Amino acid sequence: MPRGELVQTWADISRAGRLLNYEPTINLQTGIALFVDWFKMYKKKRRSEEHDASTTPAEELYRKLKEESEERERIYGIQRFLADVEEQIARQTVLKEKYRSWANGNDVPVPDMTGKHNFTFHPHMMMRQTAAFVFLPYLARDVKSLRQICAWYEECVAFSTDGHLFRSVKPKSEWKRQFNETDEGLYVSEVDVCVADLHNCNSRSTCVADPETKSFRCECKSEYHATAAGSCIPVYTADREKDEQEKQDEMTDIFNGVNITQMKTAAKWLIYKDRFSAEGDYMMAPQLRGDVEGLKQACMDLKVCIGR
């Protein structure tokens, strides 16, 4: 029972009967049914009266004219944009042919865009809008036009039904549900983004195509370890060759005037039992698991290591 409802009542209508000759003739069940019918008719009448009172013929005409004007402006904007795009495509075609000719003569790989004009639809899904290079809000839900424009832009490999065009496809793990309607979502071209080099995997990982979603995932190379945060960190060996990221990290400290090695030599090791520093991983040394002294020495050998 809802809060606030009466648990018991001692209502008595006998006095109303004596003084007013009041005597009910309709039982409760019939009364409720009659009230529901009346209330439905009342609401329908009120809506009709409110509509008639709030909208004059002149206002209705103005509304229709405004809608027609907005539709003409939308169509004109689309046509104007398409004309601009055609001019851009014509100029880009000439430049691309020159580039391909130069690339072929200098053994420079050219992205393989096979399958670009075929798209796979992922309902409800969306990539980060900041990754888009063009936004066409007046073409929202106009899939035919968006597909055509994405096909014109050689760098376009995906588009969303709200008008965003993308030049690269993020891993599906970075997609998010954004649209409620089943006809809204993300269209991804059937280009192999790994072959076309249209992914964001760094030098520590390898791009692996996902044939089902036409997306990809980044798998850490054999000399790197995958962290829970999704990054790849080097696997420690005493004779390993430093990669560019390690060199950059060390140079950053040097330019900042920080000598971490000297600081570590003079400092004490503090032990925090049953604790772990999340997302602060710099390197992995699985062969030294449980070897406290070995881990200390490895951390001392690494200029930017401050804990293990």
pLDDT digits (tens, 9 = 90+) for 269-287: 667 666 666 555 767 777 7
**pLDDT for residue 264:** 65
**pLDDT for residue 80:** 74
Residues belonging to the chain = 308
Amino acid residing at 113? M
pLDDT digits (tens, 9 = 90+) for 101-140: 887 788 777 666 655 778 889 999 998 888 888 888 878 8
Spell out, as residue ranges, where the chain has pLDDT lower than 50: none
**pLDDT for residue 21:** 84
Other Cβ atoms closer than 10 A to 179: 16
**pLDDT for residue 47:** 77
Q: What are phi and psi of 215, to 5 degrees?
A: -100, -155
**pTM of this prediction exceeds 0.75:** no
**pLDDT for residue 67:** 80
